Structure 1
Amino acid sequence: MVEHDALTATREAYDAAAVTYEQLFRDSLRDTPLDRAFLGAFAEVVSAGGGGQVADLGCGPGHVTAYLARLGLSAFGVDASPAMIELAREACPDLRFEVGSMTALDIADDALGGVLSRWSIIHTPPQQLPTILAEFHRVLAPGGHLLIGFWASEDAANPTQVFDHAVAPAYRWWPDRLAAMLREAGLAEVARMVREPQPTDRRQFKGIHLLARKA
């Protein structure tokens, strides 16, 4: 019930904020060259592993899905917010976008060459995260790659920290703890990027990207 209520509340909050969110973040990659670089590395390892479809889970208004497509990936987007999916379809009519939940993806086993989860786990209650990581593992083909982005907590002894978020309650994670959870789900860390907060950032947290591979 707690997890269901959290998903419902988050979906409704993003539905209400969808237009504002799209206006704020549609050009966000333009100003984050390190994020673009790691997305480029993700695209290369997926392509080198044989390609295949790539799901952008928690795609929002679709701007990152479109960027992956420009990098040559067969990308599609999934988001829990119908309003976000409507904006994504309007902005990128040539790409596929679907309403769905990361806890129960409508994607076949071993179907994907890559999964992108870019700040889409931050609203997940900690007790529900293993279910989502298990779904990531299920839908990835053997050798497929996951790129997961999140905000870092500041204390290894307190690996999950709640923080104020304009849309819905959110969580930060100690990177080593999340990497351990990936291993437990069958996803081995390949690389990570730690981006220090910049003076112009809305949140003064370290941004983490973990790249992991399904054995």
Structure 2
Amino acid sequence: MTDVTASYDSASYLAATRTSYDTIAAECHRRWAGELAKNPFERAMLDAFAELARGRGPVADVGCGTGRVTEYLAARGLDAFGIDLSPGMLAIARANNPDLRFIEGSMTALDLEDASVGALLAWYSTIHVPWDDLPGVFAEFHRVLTPGAPLLVSFQIGDAPLHMTEAWGHTFDLVFHRRTPQAMADLLSGAGFEERARLVRRAETEGASPERTDQAFLTFRKPNAAATTGT
């Protein structure tokens, strides 16, 4: 496995991310299947998010990948659907979950109506977005969510990007942007969201897939209309 830290041309990251995940889609599905069953903290955050989202309307899993978390949310009674940049990942999601809806698209410009989504999940999906583009992504999340809707964002903790070009016998081009919880919380607050909870989980350093970094899970919500207007 080859990886280097480097600056990255944000103008091309969407194309690189799409092509890379098309290349490794089958391997991602094989390696990620069953991961939630082994991670009680992740399940706890998703279950809390599901409780907050229940009864609010459609739930968007933005950057859904192979659809494993979309499936998890749907199994808890949510009207969950997935959005992803990679046709290869979406093909696997659709094959494994034919009753769920999966849409090809980018979180930088969501093809969704204003205030049309009752909750939104970004499960390790903002990690490929350069810092300068994150405010626009969070503005999109705010635009499509209904007042009072919950938002859950997860990511790896750190202060430098990881640029990977090879793994699992494949070559690709992915940059993983690690961030601190406070920096992400500040950006989300600046986009108009209110923080509700955060969890920092220490890296799992043992087992077949040891983690490089600690992990963060932030729960925010779009303020109710009354709170936004001050009435």
Q: Same fold (TM over 0.5)?
A: yes
Q: Distance in 1 between matches of 2:104 and 2:10?
A: 18
1:117-136 alpha-carbon deviations (Å, 9 max, x no partner): 01001111111111101101
- Tell me the amino acid that sits aligned with residue 183 of structure 1: S
Query: Which residue does 2:120 correspond to in 1?
Result: 115
In structure 1, the gaps of 5 or more residues are 154-159
Q: Match of 2:19, SS?
A: helix
Query: Which residue does 2:196 correspond to in 1?
Result: 190
Query: Which residue does 1:204 correspond to in 2?
Result: 212
Across the aligned residues of Structure 1 and Structure 2, the Cα RMSD in angstroms comes to: 1.2
- Tell me the amino acid that sits aligned with residue 162 of structure 2: F
- Tell me the amino acid that sits aligned with residue 14 of structure 1: Y
Checking the alignment, whether the CA contact within 8 Å between 2:152 and 2:218 is kept in structure 1 is yes
Match of 2:43 among 7, 17, 36: 36
Query: Which residue does 2:5 correspond to in 1?
Result: none
Checking the alignment, whether the CA contact within 8 Å between 2:63 and 2:82 is kept in structure 1 is yes
Deviates more, 1:193-202 or 1:34-43: 193-202
Query: Which residue does 1:163 correspond to in 2?
Result: 162
Q: Tell me, yes or no, if structure 1 residue 27 matches structure 2 residue 34.
A: yes
Checking the alignment, whether the CA contact within 8 Å between 2:57 and 2:119 is kept in structure 1 is yes
Q: Match of 1:122, SS?
A: helix
Matches within 5 A, 1:135-154: 135-153=140-158
- Tell me the amino acid that sits aligned with residue 117 of structure 2: L
> Cα offset for 1:14?
0.3
- Tell me the amino acid that sits aligned with residue 125 of structure 1: P
Q: Distance in 2 between matches of 1:62 and 1:4?
A: 27
1:81-138 alpha-carbon deviations (Å, 9 max, x no partner): 0011111000000000010000000011011111000100111111111110110100
- Residues 112/143 of structure 1: CA separation in 2 closer, same or farther (3 Å cut): same
Checking the alignment, whether the CA contact within 8 Å between 2:205 and 2:211 is kept in structure 1 is no
Q: Distance in 2 between matches of 1:173 and 1:93?
A: 35
Q: Distance in 2 between matches of 1:46 and 1:115?
A: 9
Please, what TM-score do these two structures have when normalized by structure 2? 0.86
Q: Match of 1:212, SS?
A: strand
Query: Which residue does 1:73 correspond to in 2?
Result: 78
Q: Distance in 2 between matches of 1:23 and 1:8?
A: 23
Q: Match of 1:83, SS?
A: helix
Please, what TM-score do these two structures have when normalized by structure 1? 0.93
Checking the alignment, whether the CA contact within 8 Å between 2:21 and 2:89 is kept in structure 1 is yes
> Cα offset for 1:3?
3.1
Query: Which residue does 1:157 correspond to in 2?
Result: none
> Cα offset for 1:164?
4.2
Match of 2:104 among 75, 80, 99: 99
Q: Tell me, yes or no, if structure 1 residue 60 matches structure 2 residue 102.
A: no
Q: Distance in 2 between matches of 1:174 and 1:81?
A: 27
> Cα offset for 1:203?
2.2
Q: Match of 2:64, SS?
A: coil
Q: Match of 2:21, SS?
A: helix
Give the number of aligned pairs. Answer: 206
Percent identical residues: 43
- Residues 164/203 of structure 1: CA separation in 2 closer, same or farther (3 Å cut): farther
> Cα offset for 1:17?
0.4
In structure 2, the gaps of 5 or more residues are 1-8, 224-231
1:149-170 alpha-carbon deviations (Å, 9 max, x no partner): 00111xxxxxx41124455111
